[in-house]
Amino acid sequence: MKTLDNLKLIQGGMGIGVSLGNLAGAVMREDCMGVISFAQPGYKQPDFWTNTLEANKRQFSIEVSRAREISENKGLLGVNIMVAGNDYQKYVNCAVENKVDAIISGAGLPLDLPKFVPSSILIAPIVSSQRAFDLIVKVWQKRYQRTPDFVIVEGPKAGGHLGFDLKQLKEKSTQSLADIVQEVKQSIMKLNVKIPLFAAGGIMTHQDVLDIQAHGADGVQVATRFIVTQECDAHENFKQAILNAKQEDILFVKSPSGFPGRGLRSKFVDAMMTRDHNLSIKRCVDCLKACNPQDTIYCITQALINSVSGYVNQGLVFAGERAFELTQMSSVKEVIDDLLNR
C-alpha cells in the first residue's frame, strides 16, 4: 500500500470526463494524488448509451493506464465514486481490479465501502459535517473493523454537488469549511487513530492552504483550479467558460441527484431552472438512484456530457464558488507549485 506521508494535495475528482487519466497523471507526476472520476468515464465509447456499465469499465481501465504512464511512477492514483450512482458496487469492484491506490466516495454516505475493498487500497469518505463523519466511522468500525485511511471535508464553497441544504447555502448560513474541519479533527483526535484530513471547497491560494492548515487540516483537495490547466481532460470551451465566468454567473442548480449543485449560468441552465418538468428525455442510462426519468427536470448525464464535449450552452458546467477569480490557463505543475509555494 502506498502511504499518505507528506501528501499535501489531492486533485478533486470531477465528472463527467473533467478529471480522467490525463489530469490525474499530471497531478501524480507532481507527487500529489491525482483522481479519476468514475462518473461515466465511458461517455465517448460508441456503445455508451446501450452498454453503459461495460463502456465505463473499459474506459476506466484505459484512463488508469494513461494516468500511470504520465505519472512516471510518482504520486498516488485515486478514484472518485459517487454513492448516489447506480452500480456503485460494480464500479468499486472495477477500481479494486485496477489496483488504484485510493477510493474516495461522497454524494451520500459510503457506509458499505470497506466491504468491497481490501486493506491494501486506501479508502476515504467525503463529508460535509462532523455528524456524517462520526456515523461513517461508527458503522465502519462496528461492521468492518476498519477506519477511514483519510477523509475529505468538503465545505460550502465547493463545485459540483454539495452536501448542504439549498436554503442554508443561499442564505450563507451553513457552517464554514474551517468550522467543519475543526469539528472533524476533534472527532479524529478522540479516535486516537491517524486519519489525515484534507479540506476542500474554495481553496485557491497558498494562503488558503496555510489558513485551513491552521484550523487542523493536514492538506487540501482542490478541483476548480485544475479545470483551467492544459492537462485537464475537458474540452477547451469548458475551460474557457470558467475563464470567462463572472461572479454573478456562478449559481446553484437543481440536480436529479437530490443534492443542490453549483455551476455556471448557461442557456441550458437558465431554461432548466425556470421549468419543473422536462419532456425531452429520449434515452436514459439509469445513472442515479434518486432520479426518475419520467419526471426528472433534466438528464444530468446528457447535460454534463454536452458541456465536457464543448457544448457549454447546451449543458451544465460545474464550478466552485471562486471560479470567477481564475483568469489564465496554467500547467498542472504551475498550479501545484503556486498552491504549495514550492
Ligand X SMILES: Cc1cc2nc3c(=O)[nH]c(=O)nc-3n(C[C@H](O)[C@H](O)[C@H](O)COP(=O)(O)O)c2cc1C
Long-range Cβ contact pairs of 54-61 (< 8 A, separation 24 or more)? 56/91, 57/90, 57/91, 57/94, 60/36, 60/91, 60/94, 60/95, 60/98, 61/94, 61/98
Residue by residue, DSSP assigns 82-142 as -TTBTTHHHHHHHHHHTT-SEEEE-SS--TTHHHHS-TTSEEEEEESSHHHHHHHHHHHHH
Cell numbers that stand for 14 in this block: 470531477
In the complex, least distance from residue 195 CB atom to ligand X, rounded to whole angstroms:
18
Stretch that binds ligand X, among 6-14, 43-51, 166-174, 265-273 (CB under 6 A): 6-14
Strand partners, 151: 197
Distance CA 100, CA 120 (A): 10
Residues 286-325, mask of contacts with ligand X (x by CB under 6 A): --------------------------------xxx-----
Cβ proximity to ligand X, 123 vs 158, nearer residue = 158
Distance of CA 102 to the CA centre of its chain: 13
Cβ proximity to ligand X, 137 vs 203, nearer residue = 203
Is residue 126 close enough to count as binding ligand X by CB under 6 A?
A: yes
Instruction: Tell me how crowded residue 277 is: count the other CB atoms within 10 A of its CB.
Output: 9
Is residue 219 close enough to count as binding ligand X by CB under 6 A?
A: no
Residues 28-67, mask of contacts with ligand X (x by CB under 6 A): ---------x-x----------------------------
Stretch that binds ligand X, among 10-18, 166-174, 211-219, 278-286 (CB under 6 A): 10-18
Is residue 157 close enough to count as binding ligand X by CB under 6 A?
A: yes
In the complex, least distance from residue 112 CB atom to ligand X, rounded to whole angstroms:
17
Amino acid sitting at position 34: G
260-270 in b/e form (b: 16+ CB < 10 A) is: bbbbbbbebbe
Cβ proximity to ligand X, 18 vs 253, nearer residue = 18
Distance CA 119, CA 189 (A): 22
- Of residues 9, 18, 79, 212, which one binds ligand X by CB under 6 A? 18
CB 136, CB 187: distance < 8 Å: no
Distance CA 88, CA 93 (A): 9
- Of residues 26, 77, 82, 103, which one binds ligand X by CB under 6 A? 82
- Of residues 200, 264, 287, 300, which one binds ligand X by CB under 6 A? 200
- Of residues 77, 102, 137, 223, which one binds ligand X by CB under 6 A? 223
Contacts with ligand X by CB under 6 A: the residue count is: 28
Residues of span 256-275 touching ligand X by CB under 6 A: none
Cβ proximity to ligand X, 29 vs 161, nearer residue = 161
Stretch that binds ligand X, among 129-137, 179-187, 196-204, 292-300 (CB under 6 A): 196-204
Rounding to the nearest 10 degrees, give the CA dihedral for residues 169, 175, 181, 185.
Answer: -140
- Of residues 8, 15, 23, 103, which one binds ligand X by CB under 6 A? 15
**Among residues 259, 223, 253, which one has the least CA distance to residue 84?**
259
- Of residues 26, 153, 158, 209, which one binds ligand X by CB under 6 A? 158
Helices (runs of H) and strands (runs of E) counted in the chain: 13, 11
- Residues in contact with ligand X by the rule CB under 6 A: 12-15, 18, 37, 39, 80, 82, 106-107, 126, 154, 157-160, 200-203, 221-224, 318-320
